[in-house]
Structure 1
């Protein structure tokens, strides 16, 4: 049986520097992995999955437990990431319940809204499922993809798409980590332009669509009324969003933020800068994968990073954050 969750930290025993120096970030699609939830079976946090299945009206546990699960479909991949992240958050929450800020990469913004009390879990599952279904359908109707420009800067990325139809900057993740999205023809032309601009490595990504580009406009339009009908509360801590890299507290405005970011670049590099401007000195990545922590280090090397995706890693947060139990 997995180990019990770590004892909650108390207000009388805050981490060095205080929770107001810590940010929590949640991953998006691409961090999914088969059987990522096995370590949580029998843990009290597993109740998250049971509640999510009731909200979704279908079994979701196989997405987290089956080593042979096909997580290539956008809908299944996004729900797997959401649930794996929420499992880890449920266990880590006693240690991280009042951070300086939170942020999520793409889909991870929905996880961030649950973590800050803006969304309840059933609403988040239904919203994530609708988002995934609509973006999947859009990708099937308008074929496209993504390519990574490795070692490139933003000027080179902008130059690659400046004279190209149907290709755009899709992710500004970190220095040397930019992504273009577009139609197959658009990406072919943008690849040629990127190499002419001095980019040495252009790598196609194994994804099903041109996410965070104008090709997702039909999905954004269809999602807007769904988000507008979803009840939101003010956040308990600021959420730094992808589309404007600014912190937000209010309950209103999420119908715009969660739909326009589908057709705009993910501004992760600027989001990390925004976290640092809020006084953050450590970033804790909660959920599967370690990509966000690596990007944080690329963006702001002075920021410490921690990671929590399993019960053991959550337990390790206690000495990492509070300097005890090591």
Structure 2
């Protein structure tokens, strides 16, 4: 008798996840040669280096591989390839969500776009972001090393950011709620003011994110406008799977207004705070999956997922030790970017 399927929410990573260790990820893992060729043809037609060339390079280039016009396509393809590699005979995918740029990947994984249309959206928006490169981003933690929630500290940091934003010539806004991390975005004056005011942590934080613009803030209005001009409504369709967005709202199969989905994707989602923490909490509470599967590339999003579950008090999880205990007893979080975990679901 076959074992019952495990249920899973799939989580798609965003920018900053294709790094030196991921070079060759598509060559190692992408399961559909013809689809990768279609992605390459799209980029050749746009006058861009192909994904196969970027992924097959002899060495990783921070300047080249992390640019928005290159990173977005690489990350989208790696995510979609991993999604297609999940063993559907053993795992029932009950919902899909993503972090930041991972929203574009989630659209395709959930069937709200075709694979090629999803790639067009991700590649176009990544290119527009890179061409404009408005503002920047930094990250700063409010969790301690034991991952005990400290919401008072988070609120104090948000108050600090709001005070800086109120100053003349300064812009600083919450960009992403990322588990135990705050991602802030703004102009150079706002970012520098926060870096000066915030207590340094471990010689790492506050940490600027290279080649990142002020994503998910009104500063991206020109990018959103250009995206709407280039990406038509017929790229979007009814999702096959429930899709959880950066507000925690669920887009249901057979009940989604595709024009509204396009407006969210190329409007609100670009210019307003992305609440990944809430998206994970909604995924846990609404779908109660056996597994949270984080696709590749990279392995950095797993911590934010675990921290988001802690903030949601999921199954009594209250810190790093309880998470590790639950994970060792029966894996709850699977990162496909880790070879030993990938085999558990593919």
1:215 to 214, 219, 233: 219
Corresponding position: 1:229 with 2:233: yes
Instruction: Let me know the Cα RMSD of the aligned residues.
Output: 2.6
Q: Tell me, which stretches of 5 or more residues in structure 2 are unaligned?
A: 144-152, 166-170, 311-316, 318-322, 324-331
The equivalent position to 2:344 in structure 1, one of 311, 316, 322, is: 316
Q: Deviations over 1:17-61 (max 9, x none)?
A: x42xx2001111100133222313xx7433331122233345321
Aligned runs of 1:83-232 on 2, under 5 Å? Answer: 83-92=77-86, 94-95=88-89, 98-139=92-133, 142=134, 144-151=135-142, 153-165=153-165, 166-175=171-180, 177-195=181-199, 201-232=205-236
* Closer/same/farther in 2, CA of residues 60 and 204 from structure 1, 3 Å limit: closer
Q: What pairs with 1:259-270 in structure 2 (closer than 5 Å)?
A: 259=266, 260-270=268-278
Q: SS at the partner of 1:146?
A: strand
1:179 is paired with a residue whose SS is: strand
Q: Structure 1 residues 113 and 313, CA, compared in 2 at 3 Å: closer, same or farther?
A: same
Contact conserved, 1:85 with 1:309, CA < 8 A, in 2?
no
Q: 1:162 to 1:104 in 2, by over 3 A?
A: same
Question: 1:6 is matched with which residue?
Answer: none
Deviates more, 1:106-115 or 1:56-65: 56-65
Count of equivalent residues:
294
Q: Distance in 1 between matches of 2:242 and 2:107?
A: 10
Aligned-partner Cα distance in 1 for 2:44–2:199: 48
Corresponding residue for residue 247 of structure 1? 250
- 2:11 matched to 1:25? yes
Counterpart of 2:28 in structure 1 is: 39
Residue 61 of structure 1 is aligned with which of 36, 52, 75?
52
User: Secondary structure of the equivalent of 1:100?
Assistant: strand
Q: CA deviation at 1:212?
A: 1.7
Q: Which residue number corresponds to residue 14 of structure 1?
A: 4
TM-score of the two chains, using structure 2 as the length reference: 0.77
Secondary structure of residue in 1 paired with 2:226: helix
For residues 91 and 311 of structure 1, the distance between their equivalents in structure 2, rounded to whole angstroms, comes to 13
Assess, with a 3 A threshold, how the Cα gap between structure 1 residues 248 and 185 changes in structure 2: closer, same or farther.
same
2:291 alignment partner in structure 1: 282
Contact 1:157–1:169 (CA under 8 A) maintained in structure 2: no
Q: 1:47 to 1:312 in 2, by over 3 A?
A: farther
Bigger shift: residues 293-302 or 125-134: 293-302
Q: Which moved more, 1:158-167 or 1:180-189?
A: 158-167
Q: Which of 74-83 and 285-294 deviates more?
A: 285-294
Alpha-carbon distance in structure 1 between the residues aligned to 2:290 and 2:156: 30
